Structure 1
Amino acid sequence: MESFDLVVAGCGVAGLSAAVSAAEGGARVVVLERAPREERGGQSRYTEAYLRMKSETEVSDDFETHLAENGGAPHADPDLAQEVTRAPSERAAHARALSMLEPDFIGTFAAEAGPTIAWLKGMGLRFDFLPTQFLTKSQPRLLPVGGGAALVEALAARAESLGVAFRYEATALRLVQDEAGRVTGLVVREGGRQQRIAGQVVLACGGFEGNAEMLTRYLGPRSVYLRTVCKGGLFNRGEGIRMALDIGAAASGDFGSFHAEPVDPRSSIAEASVFIFPYGILVNRDGERFTDEAPGTVDAYYERVTRRIHAQQDGIAWVVLDARHMRIPNYRLGLRTDQPPIVGETILALANAIGLPPARLAATVERLNAACCPGEWRPLELDGLSTEALDPPKSNWATPLVEPPFHAYPIVASNVFTFGGLKVDAQARVLDSDGAPIPGLYAAGEILGTYWGNYTGATSVLKGMVFGRIAGVDAARRRPNA
Structure 2
Amino acid sequence: MPGKQVIVVGSGNAAMSAGIAALEAGADVLMLEKAGPDLAGGNTKYTAGAMRIAYETSDALLPLLANRNDPRLPHTDFGTYPAQKFADDLLGFNEGRPLSPEQRVLVSASYEAVRWLAGHGVTYEPIYSRQSFEKDGRHIFWGGLTLAAENEGVGLFDMERSAFEHLGGRIRYSAGVTGLLTKGDKVTGVRVGDEAISADAIILACGGFEASEAMRVARMGPAWAAAKVRGTPHNTGDGLHMAFELGAAQYGSFKGCHATPMDLHMRDFGNLDLPPKERKNYRKICYFLGVMLNARGERFVDEGINFRNYTYAQFGRAVLEQPGHIAWQVFDAKVTDLLYAEYSFRDASFVEADTLEDLARKLDGVDTAAALSTLQDFNAAVDDAPPFDPTVLDGKRTHGLALDKTNWAQRLDTPPFRAFPVTGGITFTYGGLKVDEAGGVIKEDGTPIAGLFACGELVGGVFFGGYPGGSGLTSGTVFGRRAGQGAAS
Q: Tell me which of 427, 437, 448 is aligned to 1:437.
A: 448
Q: Tell me which of 260, 264, 289 is aligned to 2:299.
A: 289
Check whether the contact 2:316–2:423 (CA below 8 A) recurs between aligned residues: yes
Over the matched positions of the two proteins, sequence identity in percent amounts to 31
Check whether the contact 2:10–2:33 (CA below 8 A) recurs between aligned residues: yes
Equivalences for residues 162-311 of structure 1 within 5 A: 162-179=167-184, 181-189=185-193, 193-230=194-231, 232=232, 234-267=233-266, 268=271, 269-271=278-280, 272-311=282-321
1:337, CA displacement in angstroms?
A: 4.9
Distance, in Å, in 2 between the alignment partners of 1:236 and 1:441 is: 19
Distance 1:158 1:332, change over 3 A: closer
Q: Give the letter for the 1:266 counterpart.
A: H
Distance 1:39 1:46, change over 3 A: same
Distance 1:345 1:201, change over 3 A: same
1:400, CA displacement in angstroms?
A: 2.4
Distance, in Å, in 1 between the alignment partners of 2:488 and 2:116 is: 17
Distance, in Å, in 1 between the alignment partners of 2:315 and 2:84 is: 24
* 1:451 corresponding residue in structure 2: 463
Distance 1:473 1:370, change over 3 A: same
* 2:115 corresponding residue in structure 1: 118
455-464 or 9-18: bigger deviation: 455-464
1:69, CA displacement in angstroms?
A: 5.6
* 2:69 corresponding residue in structure 1: none
List per-residue Cα deviations over 1:24-44 (Å, max 9, x = no partner): 222121111011012210111
Check whether the contact 1:265–1:410 (CA below 8 A) recurs between aligned residues: yes
Query: Is 2:477 the counterpart of 1:465?
Result: yes
Secondary structure of the corresponding residue to residue 209 of structure 1? coil
409-418 or 350-359: bigger deviation: 350-359
1:283, CA displacement in angstroms?
A: 0.7
Distance 1:421 1:411, change over 3 A: same
List per-residue Cα deviations over 1:431-466 (Å, max 9, x = no partner): 111222221111011111121111133211111112
TM-score of the superposed pair, with normalisation by structure 2: 0.84
TM-score of the superposed pair, with normalisation by structure 1: 0.85
Distance, in Å, in 1 between the alignment partners of 2:88 and 2:326 is: 33
Equivalences for residues 361-372 of structure 1 within 5 A: 361-372=371-382
1:59, CA displacement in angstroms?
A: 6.2
**Which runs of 5 or more residues in structure 2 are unaligned?**
64-80, 134-141, 272-277
* 2:357 corresponding residue in structure 1: 348
* 1:84 corresponding residue in structure 2: none
1:138, CA displacement in angstroms?
A: 2.5
Distance, in Å, in 2 between the alignment partners of 1:107 and 1:303 is: 21
Check whether the contact 1:275–1:335 (CA below 8 A) recurs between aligned residues: no
Distance 1:352 1:379, change over 3 A: same
Check whether the contact 2:361–2:368 (CA below 8 A) recurs between aligned residues: yes
Q: Give the letter for the 1:396 counterpart.
A: N
Secondary structure of the corresponding residue to residue 172 of structure 1? coil
Check whether the contact 1:68–1:101 (CA below 8 A) recurs between aligned residues: no
* 1:89 corresponding residue in structure 2: none
Distance, in Å, in 1 between the alignment partners of 2:84 and 2:345 is: 32
Check whether the contact 1:135–1:333 (CA below 8 A) recurs between aligned residues: no
Check whether the contact 1:141–1:458 (CA below 8 A) recurs between aligned residues: no
Distance 1:460 1:393, change over 3 A: same
Distance, in Å, in 2 between the alignment partners of 1:388 and 1:69 is: 25
Distance, in Å, in 1 between the alignment partners of 2:427 and 2:344 is: 15
1:129, CA displacement in angstroms?
A: 2.2
Distance, in Å, in 2 between the alignment partners of 1:25 and 1:43 is: 26
Query: Is 2:419 the counterpart of 1:408?
Result: yes
Aligned-CA RMSD value: 2.4
Secondary structure of the corresponding residue to residue 243 of structure 1? helix
Distance, in Å, in 2 between the alignment partners of 1:184 and 1:226 is: 37
Distance, in Å, in 1 between the alignment partners of 2:327 and 2:356 is: 16
Distance 1:439 1:270, change over 3 A: same
List per-residue Cα deviations over 1:29-68 (Å, max 9, x = no partner): 1111011012210111221221112344886542234445
Q: Give the letter for the 1:415 counterpart.
A: I
Distance, in Å, in 1 between the alignment partners of 2:152 and 2:310 is: 21
* 2:339 corresponding residue in structure 1: 331
* 2:152 corresponding residue in structure 1: 147
Distance 1:262 1:316, change over 3 A: same
Distance, in Å, in 1 between the alignment partners of 2:17 and 2:437 is: 16
Secondary structure of the corresponding residue to residue 42 of structure 1? coil
Q: Give the letter for the 1:31 counterpart.
A: M
1:411, CA displacement in angstroms?
A: 1.6
Distance, in Å, in 2 between the alignment partners of 1:121 and 1:323 is: 41
Distance, in Å, in 2 between the alignment partners of 1:457 and 1:264 is: 19
**Which runs of 5 or more residues in structure 1 are unaligned?**
82-99, 478-482
Distance 1:144 1:52, change over 3 A: same
Check whether the contact 2:252–2:464 (CA below 8 A) recurs between aligned residues: yes
